[in-house]
Structure 1
Amino acid sequence: MIHILFGASASGSLKYVLREMGLDKKEKVISFWDIFSIGPVWQLHEESGKEARFEWMKKIITDKYDEFLDYKKGFEKTINQINSIPEGVHITIWTSDNAHEQTGLRFVVYLLKEKNVDISLINTTAEYEELFQVKKVKYTPLYSGEISPEKLQIIYEQGRGKFFTDHDREDLEKEWLSLLGNQETLRIWRNGKIQSVPEDYYDKFIIKKAKRLHAKQKKKDFMKSARLIGEVLGHLDQYVGDGFLEYRLRELIEKGVFESEGSLEAMRFYSVKLKM
Structure 2
Amino acid sequence: MLAIRKATDSLEEEELRAYLRLILVQIERMKEEGAAPNTAITGLIELYDGLIALPDKKRIVWDPAPACTHVHIVIGDSFAGSMKQALKGLGWEEAHKLIVLRENYAIGPLADLDSPAGRTARSEWFGDNIMNGLEAYSTYEDEYMVLLGKLEQIPEQAELVVWTTRNACEQAGMRYALHLLRHKPNPLSVYDACAICEALYNRPDAITRYRHSGELPPSKLQAALVRMDGSGRLSGTDIAKLIEEWRAIAEQTGTLRIWRDGAVIGVPADYYDSYLLDKLDRLKPPAGDRGFLRSARLIGEALGYCEQYVGDEYFEYRLRTLIYNGVLEIKGVPAAMRFYSVRRKR
TM-score range, shorter chain: over 0.9
| Matching of residue 144 in structure 1 with residue 191 in structure 2 | no
Instruction: Indicate the residue corresponding to 1:8 in structure 2.
Output: 77
Matches within 5 A, 1:171-250: 171-214=241-284, 221-250=291-320
| Matching of residue 29 in structure 1 with residue 98 in structure 2 | yes
Query: Whose helix fraction is larger, Structure 1's or Structure 2's?
Result: 2
Q: Which amino acid aligns with 2:221?
A: L
Instruction: Indicate the residue corresponding to 2:184 in structure 1.
Output: 115
1:217 to partner: Cα distance: 6.0
C-alpha distance after superposition, 1:13-65 (max 9, x if no partner): 1111111222212211111121111111111232222111111111214168x
Distance in 2 separating the partners of 1:75 and 1:223: 39
Instruction: Indicate the residue corresponding to 1:266 in structure 2.
Output: 336
Q: Which amino acid aligns with 2:101?
A: F
Q: Which amino acid aligns with 2:90?
A: M
Give structure 1 stretches of 5+ with no counterpart: none
Q: Which amino acid aligns with 2:218?
A: P
Q: Which amino acid aligns with 1:152?
A: L
Distance in 2 separating the partners of 1:32 and 1:61: 20
C-alpha distance after superposition, 1:116-170 (max 9, x if no partner): 1111111123212221111233321000000111000011112545001101101
Q: If the length of structure 2 is used for normalisation, what is the TM-score?
A: 0.75
Distance in 2 separating the partners of 1:27 and 1:124: 16
Q: If the length of structure 1 is used for normalisation, what is the TM-score?
A: 0.93
Instruction: Indicate the residue corresponding to 1:81 in structure 2.
Output: 150
Instruction: Indicate the residue corresponding to 1:166 in structure 2.
Output: 236
Matches within 5 A, 1:53-92: 53-58=122-127, 59-62=129-132, 66-69=135-138, 73-92=142-161
Percent identical across equivalent pairs?
37
CA contact (8 A) 2:285 2:292 kept: no
Instruction: Indicate the residue corresponding to 1:251 in structure 2.
Output: 321
Distance in 2 separating the partners of 1:215 and 1:144: 33
Give structure 2 stretches of 5+ with no counterpart: 1-69
Query: Whose strand fraction is larger, Structure 1's or Structure 2's?
Result: 1
CA contact (8 A) 1:128 1:140 kept: no
Q: Which amino acid aligns with 1:184?
A: G
Q: 1:38 aligns with which of 97, 107, 111?
A: 107
Instruction: Indicate the residue corresponding to 2:51 in structure 1.
Output: none
Q: Which amino acid aligns with 1:162?
A: G
CA contact (8 A) 1:222 1:272 kept: yes
Distance in 1 separating the partners of 2:311 and 2:158: 33
Distance in 2 separating the partners of 1:269 and 1:253: 14
C-alpha distance after superposition, 1:151-195 (max 9, x if no partner): 000111125450011011011011111112211111101111111
1:89 to partner: Cα distance: 2.4
Query: Higher relative CO (CA 8 A, sep ≥ 6), structure 1 or 2?
Result: 1
CA contact (8 A) 2:286 2:293 kept: no
Distance in 1 separating the partners of 2:80 and 2:208: 22
Q: Label 1:45 to 1:68 Cα distance change in 2 as closer, same or farther (>3 A).
A: closer
